[in-house]
Amino acid sequence: MKKLIFLLAVGLTNFSFGFYASKKDYIETWKEEAINQMNLYQIPASITLAQAVLESQYGNSKLSTEANNHFGIKCHKWTGETFIQDDDRKNECFRKYSNAKESFKDHSEFLKYRSRYAQLFELKMTDYKAWAKGLKKCGYATNPKYAHLLIDIIEKYQLYKYDYPSKVEKVSVHSIANNTENKTIKASTFIAPKPNKHDVKIKPNGVHYVVAKKGDTFYKIAKEFELGMWQLYKYNDYGKQKDVLVPGDIVYLQPKKSKPGKHHDKTVVLKENSSLRKLSQEYAVKLSTLLKKNNLEMPDETLATGTKIILK
């Protein structure tokens, strides 16, 4: 009986190895590797993670558990071990790796050193939507909804917060297996991993922001996220005289939008005194849009409790 219990325990241990209870569990396991790949190959960590989640069924697909292939990369002149399974056609050839980390590295090199994906590296690493759409356009996957699926994963799990590097150095990368023409690759950018001081959050309408801490200024936040001061002033509807921030202030890292998001009502009744400037920051709606919709001219005019404001 003891021997049977021992064998069952071993079997359960072996079964659970390589399997993930949830997408969050998978992301937590592989986020550091995705950041490392971003540092070396300039591919957004959010894109790498989203593709891995989608392609590998967050580490639980047959291809990922038996072949350590987390990105669904097919053989394409591959000289290593292979794995055969049905995909778009029967008995298709996929790459097989000795461990999952090799799969992450090969995915980066697969994109970096193939001319069909060259246009992706002209995009900003913080523009995950453009990368997702670019991957679909370049033919990475046949699913017509591929880009939208990646974007949904990135936004649901806030993977974009891993896409803000801070330090840049230069290293040289030379010919590798995926460099089929065996040419020397020009120096590429290496971004040293360094965690940001602020967590990047997202409003319902998709606008990214951070919350100011004690001692924050626009200058410090602009430097942290490699943005120009003028960008933060513009995105937050402030003149250049505004630099000291109060803890709790919302600071947008991209332009606000003309609507607050589909889940918000068209109007809001103020529960306390406010101003259009404050509402603009609260709902991530452009100040100029609120002024126009409400026929007002003074963004800092005090609006009394009970005032009805049009948001969209």
Which residues, 6+ apart, have CB-to-CB distance to 160 below 8 Å? 46, 126, 128, 154, 200, 202, 208
Confirm whether 2-192 and 201-252 share one CATH topology: no
**Position with higher pLDDT, 190 vs 293:** 293
Please give the average per-residue pLDDT across 197-218, as a whole number.
Answer: 86
Residue 208 has pLDDT above 70, yes or no: yes
CB-CB contact of 135 with 146 (8 Å): yes
Which CATH number applies to 2-192: 3.20.20.80, 2.60.40.1080, 1.10.530.10, 1.20.1250.20? 1.10.530.10
Is the pLDDT at 165 greater than 80? The verdict is no
What is 51-78 written as a DSSP string?
HHHHHTTTTTSHHHHHH--SS--B-SS-
Phi, psi of 6 (to 5 degrees): -60, -45
Q: Looking at the domain that runs over 201-252, which CATH code has it been given?
A: 3.10.350.10
Domain boundaries, the chain: 2-192, 201-252, 267-310
Can you tell me the mean pLDDT for 117-145? Answer: 91
What are 9-45's pLDDT values in tens digits? Answer: 333 333 333 568 889 999 999 999 999 898 888 899 9
pLDDT band at 243 (very low <50, low <70, confident <90, very high): low
pLDDT category of residue 1 using cuts at 50, 70 and 90: very low
pTM of the model: 0.52
Residues 103, 83: Cα–Cα separation, whole Å: 13
For the chain, the maximum distance between any two Cα atoms, rounded to a whole number of angstroms, is 82
pLDDT at 206: 83
Tokens of 132: 């997702």
Summarize the confidence of residues 112-139 as an average pLDDT. Answer: 90
pLDDT for res 19: 66
Length of the chain: 312
Instruction: State residue 123 phi and psi, 5-degree precision.
Output: -85, 155
Q: Please list, in sequence order, all residues whose beta carbon lies within 8 angstroms of the beta carbon of residue 257, skipping any fewer than 6 positions away.
A: 205, 206, 207, 284, 285, 286
Tokens representing 107 are 């995915």
Average model confidence (pLDDT) across the chain:
80
